Structure formats: structure tokens, C-alpha cells
Structure 1
Amino acid sequence: MQNALNIKRISAASVGAVEICRLLDEAKVDFVPVDSHCWADEFPYKPKMEVRAAHNGNQLLVNYRVTEECVRAVAQHDDGNVWEDSCCELFLSPVADGTYYNIECNAAGTLLIGFGAGRADRERAAKEALDTVDRWTSMGRAPFANIEGERTWQLCLAIPASAFFAHNVQSFDGLSVKGNVYKCGDMLPHPHFLSLFPIDIPKPDFHRPDFFGSVVFE
């Protein structure tokens, strides 16, 4: 079981999402599996999901790699129901004040960011904040319906500190915080729910900061 998600510091500045795979390869940042299959009895399908991340002080650089039997990205616009698609998610508490952000992105780079203390009454990021997150995906940026047949796809996000819109995060340097990483697909032919750190409850629910693990920024 993964004990922590370690975020290596790299020296590159003003990174675009299209550069992330190469930069993380050059920095020898390894993927870690997102394979806690907590609700396997009810949702037995388990795609392969991996994540790796780095930062340059001002940007959090995230690379997801997924292998699954069907890929979907129907959500037309940011702030839509991306969790119903082939979706990769990072939940993070950058400040220890009982709140967290949910950063959810589908296979076409369509994005949702929310903020709050729990599932209820979450505040959604404004378009101005969403637009600061640069995205690249191997599936292209246009929405698409189900693409059947097993394939591997990648998604990269360059997330500036300012995207954590309810806080004044000056830098990621040296932060030791809490969070989790997820893969879901609520409306896929075989719905699934995977996490980096396990969630010990009977039904799928990613909005459980009580099960967050350690996220350590170099």
C-alpha cells in the first residue's frame, strides 16, 4: 500500500502541460499505481491507473496514465459532470484548515475544481481559475462518446498555485499536506472507483478527507 505521494521539485519554469511527460521522464519521476479497489464486490472492473507528479514551486505538474476497456469524455464544458466520464481526480488539502479541493478532469481535458469542507455545499472554481490550468491529453481535447477496445491514454495537468482559489498559496516548496488520487467512470459500461489511499466505507465516496494520505512536496 502506498504510504505517501511524493512530489519532486524540478527546476523548469512556466511549464506547459504538453511538456510534462518529457520533463518527468528526464527527472526520473516514477509512476505509482492507483490500485486500491475498495468496492470490488459491487464494482468488480478494475482498469489500470497510475500517477506521477512534480512541481516547480509555482506549478503542480500531474501526469496520469490509464489503461481501460472503454474511454468516454462526453462532458461538453468545464464544470460539467466529468466524473461520469473516464475521469482522473486529485483531492488536496493545501492548508490544514479542514477544507480540500477536488480537481477532476476527464480524458478530453474537461475540468472541474471544487472547494469546501465536505461533499455538501462545495464552491466551484470560476472560469478564470479553471482557465489557468493547462491541460494535455493523448485523446485530444474534443469531447467524444464511448470508444470501445482496451487502450492506454495519458492526461497531464499544469496546475498553478493560484488555482487553489480560496487560499493564498505562495509556493508548493516544502509543503507536507493531505490528499488522495482517484479514477472513476460512473457512466461507463463498467463503472469503477479506484483510489491511491484506501477508503474503508461500504459505498463509493471520494469526498472522505478522513481517509486522505500524505502528499509531500520536496
Structure 2
Amino acid sequence: MTLEIPKLSRPVNSLADLNAAFDGLNENALACFPWETPANKPAVNFKVAHNNESIFLSYRVQEDEVLARFSKHNSPVYTDSCVEFFVSFEGDKNYYNFEFNSLGTCLAAYGPDRHQRQSIAPETLGLIQTQTSLNRVQGQSHRFDWQLVIQLPISVLTNSKISSLSGLKARANFYKCGDDLTTPHYISWNNIGTSNPDFHQPPYFGEIEFL
């Protein structure tokens, strides 16, 4: 099954425009717990769209604990409350990993596997726009609801010659983790069939297409 990524019909000149555009899009659930399912499962949904020049992502997370320590790009944000987007464009054996904590701080790199990664420069990651919000779930004082909206311009895809997203096919996965939380967890959109937790698994990416 291919996840079709819609092209936004309205202009996006601000994050407010983007939030309005997201209102009409379907949510996709992160529902796979490839290794161990925690007793209090986080609930995670995401939306994704594009406008040829940027990929837009919106993650909505409900979980019992939120950790947000890192504010400098390319810090180990995967140890905080973290959402991630890994993508490999058609014809490329390499893939990008974009990882964001709940503050919008980004860790990103490019390469063929977990060990051979080329970091994307912090000044390039500064081109990514994010908007975050954090609230308590109404009626559940122990549970938090946080949202991260991301505008990822194609200029950040520094190892790819992409001038327009429409018509492109790719392989990707979407994730939620938190390595240093009291109860660590690992959640994915497309399931992963390895024995140990590892999101750097291109063979388990799912198919996506930019409309």
C-alpha cells in the first residue's frame, strides 16, 4: 500500500496558513510497536503534505511523560520525546533521517545505513520551520498532549537534486521514540522485523508518492 502525499491547493505563507491547510487532511496512525509494547501506550498520529517546494508534517502525540532537553540542532534528540521522518527518494540507495524533539530541535543526516551518516549542517537545518504546543489531556492530569508542525524545504535535502516534489516516489518511515524516558518506547508507521530496536532499516520503509 502506498501513502499518497497530497499537494496543498492553498498558498502557505505562514505556519498559521499551514495549520489551516492541515485541518482538511486525514490523520495517519503510528500503530506498530515492533519490539515491546509499553503498558501505557503513547497515542501518535501524523499528517503529511507538500506544495512542491516543501514537505509539511504535523505530529500529534499523547503520552505520560515529555522530555525536552536539547535546543541545538544535531543534538541527540532521540533521547528526548522525539518524532522522526526517514526518507529515501526513488533511485537513491541512501536515505535522510530527520529527528525532532518536542521543542522542534532537529538531528539530521544522510547515508546508506546507521553507521555511514553525513550530518546536515546546523545552518541548513535552520531553514526548517517548526511550531510546537504542549497541553495536559483534559480530564487526565498525568497525560500530556503535544503537537509539532514542520515545514521542511527541499533545499534541506542537500544530497538530492530535487526541484519539484510532485510526481516523485520514495520510500519512508515515520517514528516516535524516547530513549531516556522512564519507560522507553519505539513506535513506527511501517512495521520493522528486526530483533533489536533500530529505526535505521531501509528494507522496512513503506512506499510513498507525492501527488
Question: If the length of structure 1 is used for normalisation, what is the TM-score?
Answer: 0.89
Aligned with 1:29 (options 20, 25, 33): 25
CA distance in 2, matches of 1:199, 1:15: 37
Distance apart, 1:46 and its partner CA? 2.3
Aligned with 2:122 (options 113, 127, 135): 127
- Aligned-CA RMSD value: 1.7
Relative to structure 1, the CA distance from residue 31 to residue 115 in structure 2 (aligned partners, 3 Å threshold; closer, same or farther) is same
Distance apart, 1:15 and its partner CA? 4.0
Relative to structure 1, the CA distance from residue 150 to residue 60 in structure 2 (aligned partners, 3 Å threshold; closer, same or farther) is same
Question: If the length of structure 2 is used for normalisation, what is the TM-score?
Answer: 0.92
Gaps of 5+ in 2: 136-140
Contact map agreement 2:90 2:169 (CA 8 A) in 1: no
Contact map agreement 2:102 2:148 (CA 8 A) in 1: yes
Q: How many residues are treated as equivalent by the alignment?
A: 206
| 1:214 corresponding residue in structure 2 | 207
CA distance in 1, matches of 2:3, 2:75: 28
CA distance in 1, matches of 2:57, 2:160: 20
CA distance in 1, matches of 2:69, 2:196: 25
| 2:10 corresponding residue in structure 1 | 12
Distance apart, 1:44 and its partner CA? 5.0
Contact map agreement 2:87 2:173 (CA 8 A) in 1: yes
Gaps of 5+ in 1: 141-147
Aligned pairs (5 A) from 1:1-218: 3-25=1-23, 28-40=24-36, 45-139=40-134, 149-218=142-211
Secondary structure (helix, strand or coil) at the match of 1:135 reads strand
Aligned sequence identity (%): 33
Distance apart, 1:112 and its partner CA? 1.1
Relative to structure 1, the CA distance from residue 195 to residue 182 in structure 2 (aligned partners, 3 Å threshold; closer, same or farther) is same
Distance apart, 1:24 and its partner CA? 1.2
| 1:143 corresponding residue in structure 2 | none
CA distance in 2, matches of 1:36, 1:164: 27
- One-letter code aligned to 1:4: T
| 1:145 corresponding residue in structure 2 | none
CA distance in 2, matches of 1:123, 1:113: 9
| 2:138 corresponding residue in structure 1 | none
